[in-house]
């Protein structure tokens, strides 16, 4: 059985600014003009992008938000929990695992503008997922959460904010 570090090497993954490891695997060659996009975008965008993303146990994907919807696809490893805070303040935990018939599903959708972060549910393990975004990802569309600001906006979620920032 492969370990998380085996997958990091095999897929040539690199550290991600939010935590974990990633590699972009697809970027559409087709572009959408800014004029045809919602005003939240600062320029033209690829139609879609996708990455491999891997978290090791004990690592977290820090709370962040995007300007596009993001679809997570579970591939390998232990269950992963995605923690979300919607703009109105409601919190939810979304699980993903290989046990889609008896437990969490293989995919999860995070709507644009929601704060979210993730962690591996089991110790001494990893979770390998894919993330697809449309319109495609640009770092201009990525905002890493600041603990103090998130606590001021969502004080009821102190525990998860402190864990994921």
Q: How high is the pLDDT of residue 156?
A: 97
Q: How high is the pLDDT of residue 60?
A: 97
Q: How high is the pLDDT of residue 1?
A: 80
Q: How high is the pLDDT of residue 5?
A: 97
d(CA 164, CA 154): 13
Whether 55 contacts 26, CB under 8 Å: no
Going from the C-alpha of 95 to that of each of 84, 89, 104, 121, 127, the distances in angstroms are 11, 19, 5, 9, 11
d(CA 24, CA 14): 10
Q: What angle do CA 142, 145, 147 make, to 5 degrees?
A: 170
d(CA 124, CA 18): 20
Q: How high is the pLDDT of residue 103?
A: 58
Average pLDDT, consecutive stretches of 10 residues, N- to C-terminus, the chain (165 residues):
95 96 97 95 96 97 97 95 97 88 79 98 96 95 97 98 97
What is the number of structural domains in the chain? 1
Whether 140 contacts 34, CB under 8 Å: no
Q: How high is the pLDDT of residue 2?
A: 92
17: containing domain: 4-163
Contacts of 59 (CB under 8 A, 6+ apart): 19, 20, 119, 120
2 token code pair: 């492969």
Q: Helical H runs in the chain? A: 4-10, 147-153, 158-163
- Residue in the block written with tokens 């919807």: 69
18 token code pair: 């939010």
Q: CB-side exposure of 60: number of CA atoms within 13 Å? A: 16
Q: What is the CATH number of the domain that holds 21?
A: 2.60.120.10
Please give the model's pTM, rounded to 2 decimal places: 0.93
Q: How high is the pLDDT of residue 130?
A: 98
């Amino acid at each position: 059985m492969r370990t998380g570090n085996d997958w990091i090497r095999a897929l040539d993954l690199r550290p991600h600014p939010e935590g974990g490891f990633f590699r972009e695997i697809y970027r559409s060659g087709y572009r959408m003009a800014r004029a045809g996009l919602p005003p939240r975008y600062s320029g033209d965008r690829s139609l879609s992008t996708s990455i491999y993303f891997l978290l090791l146990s004990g690592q977290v994907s820090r709370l962040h938000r995007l300007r596009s919807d993001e679809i997570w696809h579970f591939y390998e490893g232990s269950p992963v929990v995605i923690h979300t805070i919607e703009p109105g303040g409601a919190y939810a935990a979304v699980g993903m695992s290989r046990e889609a018939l008896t437990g969490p599903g293989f995919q999860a959708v995070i709507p644009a503008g929601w704060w979210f972060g993730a962690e591996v549910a089991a110790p001494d393990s990893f979770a390998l997922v894919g993330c697809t975004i449309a319109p495609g990802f640009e770092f201009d569309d990525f905002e890493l959460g600041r603990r103090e600001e998130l606590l001021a906006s969502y004080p009821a979620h102190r525990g998860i904010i402190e864990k994921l920032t």
